[in-house]
Chain A
Amino acid sequence: MRPFTYERAATPAAAAAAAAREPGARFIAGGTNLLDLMKLQIETPTHLIDVNGLGLDRVEATAEGGLRIGALVRNTDLASDERVRRDYGVLSRALSAGASGQIRNKATTAGNLLQRTRCPYFYDTNTACNKRRPGSGCAAIGGVTRQLAVIGASEACIATHPSDMAVALRALDAVVETVKADGAARDIPMAAFHRLPGETPHVETALERGEFITAVTLPPPVGGRQFYRKVRDRASYAFALVSVAAVVQRDGTGRVALGGVAHRPWRVEAAEAELPRGARPAMAAILDGARPTHENAFKLALAERALASVLAEARG
């Protein structure tokens, strides 16, 4: 780890202002991803702003009938919340499918959204990575690509976003609330929060410098049967090869978001009209334009079968 100075933020706005002032600053909440990356010197912040003392650790009902999840609500607490379990099962399921108990006890809602890719070339500092060192190239392209993206990738990056929680939030049309360095608040829909890699894979979200996430809001419950089907190399404590977050209504309509296939949670709203016709046409529409490698083409079939199993369970 490189040396860094450390402060505890007093308010969200003060945290944002401090982060904007110091070019090498990072917020630290759970720290479960950031500290790992700092030990590997993939992240080399010169200043850490500890935001754990800011509160923001409650799940509250909104006037609209949804839930407002504080940025610092731990993954365990969010997965356990009675209202989340009852009305947003896909979210509780996605959280429980991610990481290990020790990580979930520490990792926060905002931190989960902001975790970095687990692309092995991002982690290997001896290789080129446009995400880790912009302009250095992408050693993953032409490399070992089994776990990497099959859709929405670019010539600069084929990494995937590793979060399970974010896939469920995308399916639920969640909104990320932030405060900027100048104190202004704004709302960013999940659909616009994570970016595709394009030419700038190191820019992963819509957040501006210093911008601080204060909460994530869920719209009123959408009902239906809710699923998070995660397929991985081990039964537990592994990242998804493919995951399917789905809300299926009694009439066969619904919504689907995928994890493990792209640089952001992958959802194509227009394709969801195909859902009542079954997994094959629906997944064909969702993954239209996919460009897998010979090593990860299996993800297309796996995604279709994962969705088919979800739809079968929804009918049953």
Chain B
Amino acid sequence: MQETGSPPLSRRDALIVAAAGATVPAAATAQGGGQERADGPAPARARVSLEVNGRRRELEVDTRTTLLDALREHLHLTGSKKGCDHGQCGACTVMVGGRRIYSCLTLAVMHEGDAVTTIEGLGQPGNLHPMQAAFVKHDGYQCGYCTPGQICSATAVLEEIRAGIPSHATADLTAAPQVTAEEIRERMSGNICRCGAYSNIVDAMAEVAGTSVAGRPA
């Protein structure tokens, strides 16, 4: 499949164009066509091939396109959310090569050939991933906006603990880390939930890990 659509003009670009007093139509400036801004080069495009949720996708994108925008705007996988767009909230969390990252803080063109797993690839209605089912069971959300990122992150966190990756909450650096409430809280600190579903998220994760956390039977 080939995608050649350009992302729509962003608000920031529109403001910049307006501030510069440009008289050309904003869309023409933002989408290139050989025009050069006074303060830098024209937009550049590049081809990139990703394997998203097991399926090969060929894209041609503006080099500025983040992985998040490629997923949402080009591939229409809108499960990954844009919260802050600055790596502070975690709503955009996806897995690349099995590791969780912020898709807003990486460029699509930096992921040639990479395997990307989004919430859509983790499970589907009627075929939920165990972490998705546990979030439903434990009410691990309220508005749901941060949930795709929380679930991708939570799934990867349990893998990280299994792989023996230490965290700030790990008491003994030379011992294997355990699934505890402290470990879960520390490792999930890169995902914010403004509805405050945190304690239920901890319960959901503990259930999937097959453990109970202090004072809370799974």
Contacts and interface: CB of A to CB of B under 8 A. Distances in A.
Interface of A: 1-6, 8, 24, 28, 30-32, 35-36, 39, 44, 46, 48, 50, 52, 76, 79-80, 85-86, 89, 92-93, 96-97, 99-103, 105-106, 234-237
A52 B190 contact: no
Interface in B83-126: 85-87, 90, 93, 99-102, 105-107, 109-110, 112
Contacts of A32: 87, 102, 105-106
B63 A48 contact: yes
A2 B153 contact: no
A120 B46 CA distance: 34
Contact of B164 (A6, A80, A235, A237): A80
B165 A106 contact: no
Nearest to B167: A96
Given A48-B63, A80-B164, A102 B102 contact: yes
Given A89-B173, A101-B160, A101-B190, A3 B100 contact: no
Interface string B135-172: 00000000000000000010011001001111110100
Contact of B90 (A48, A96, A102): A102
B39 A2 contact: yes
Interface string B56-87: 00000011101000000000000000000111
Given A31-B110, A106-B101, A100 B40 contact: no
B105 A236 contact: no
A96 B166 contact: yes
Contacts, number: 126
A92 B100 contact: no
A3 B110 contact: no
Interface centre among B32, B63, B87 (most CB of A within 10 A): B87
A135 B37 CA distance: 25
Contact of B166 (A31, A50, A80, A236): A80
A102 B44 contact: no
A92 B107 contact: no
Given A35-B107, A102-B87, A106-B106, A6 B166 contact: no
A80 B174 CA distance: 10
Nearest to A3: B43
Given A3-B62, A39-B12, A86-B173, 11 more contacts: A3-B40, A6-B46, A6-B107, A35-B106, A50-B109, A50-B110, A101-B188, A101-B189, A106-B101, A236-B185, A236-B189
B86 A100 contact: no
A103 B102 contact: yes
A105 B94 CA distance: 12
A261 to B, nearest CB: 21
